[in-house]
Amino acid sequence: MPVFVTTHWSVVLAASDRESPDSTAALEALCRTYWFPIYGLVRRWGHGPEDAEDLTQEFFARLLGQDQLRAADREQGRFRTFLRVVLQRFLANQRERSRAEKRGGGFRRVPLDTSVAEARWEGAAELGKGLGAEAVFERQWAFSLLEEALNRLRTDHLASGREAEFQRLKPYLASERGEIPYAAIASDLGIREGAARVAVHRLRKRFRELFRAAVADTVADPSEVDAEVRHVASLLAGG
């Protein structure tokens, strides 16, 4: 089964059609997934918490309002590159607008979890000490992709009534095989040790598939997926 089916680019390009409510809803879901790297980049560029929240909301509102979609250049290749370039253009334009216009208008606000934004930002800023704004943005982008893959994996297990298994096995997604306590897992889940080994193997395999799918969604060409997976993995490893 091919992993490269519907990319974020296809959603972006389809959403430029004002008569496509389904695509607009899909784009809104993408915004909810990737809002924090944008928020973090705005903060890194010197804006305070309140302004960063407002600017992030306004940026996505304008994106959802399709003001920016006509400028989308799929040749940029990676969805993160597109968002960063459009954000830079948006912030430059905002400096030329009055504060009233900047905060006003009839744009739809995207539901973002800004209640924890600053705590998350402080942790990200600590990890990103000594890095430039774009390097921090890329690391936060990588963590957003990781979170997206984990959310998809959890949804899979919820749908099949196996959330307890997911929660018990999740800590071992990135563990070395010799570090996984199969006997303890089997005891906790009430299964045989062999079954525990199979469950861990399946979870790790499914996570790799979902992580690859999340990364594949963000590039324009299937031939770029492997390189992008390696790049994102290096970012997660601190490279």
* Interatomic CA distance for residues 10 and 222, integer angstroms: 13
Amino acid found at 235: L
Q: Are residues 14 and 20 in contact, defined by beta-carbon separation less than 8 angstroms?
A: yes
- pLDDT tens readout for residues 184-214: 999 999 999 999 999 999 999 999 999 999 8
190 vs 208: CA distance, rounded Å: 26
What residues form DSSP beta bridges with 78? 219
Instruction: Provide the whole-model pTM.
Output: 0.71
C-alpha 96: how far from its chain's center?
Answer: 30
124, pLDDT greater than 80: no
Residue partners of 204: CB distance under 8 A and separation at least 6: 172, 173
Bridge partners for 219 per DSSP: 78
The answer to whether residues 42 and 56 touch, using CB atoms and an 8 Å cutoff, is: yes
Maximum average pLDDT range among 18-22, 67-71, 106-110, 176-180: 176-180
Q: How far apart are CA 174 and CA 56, in angstroms?
A: 32
pLDDT of residue 159: 93
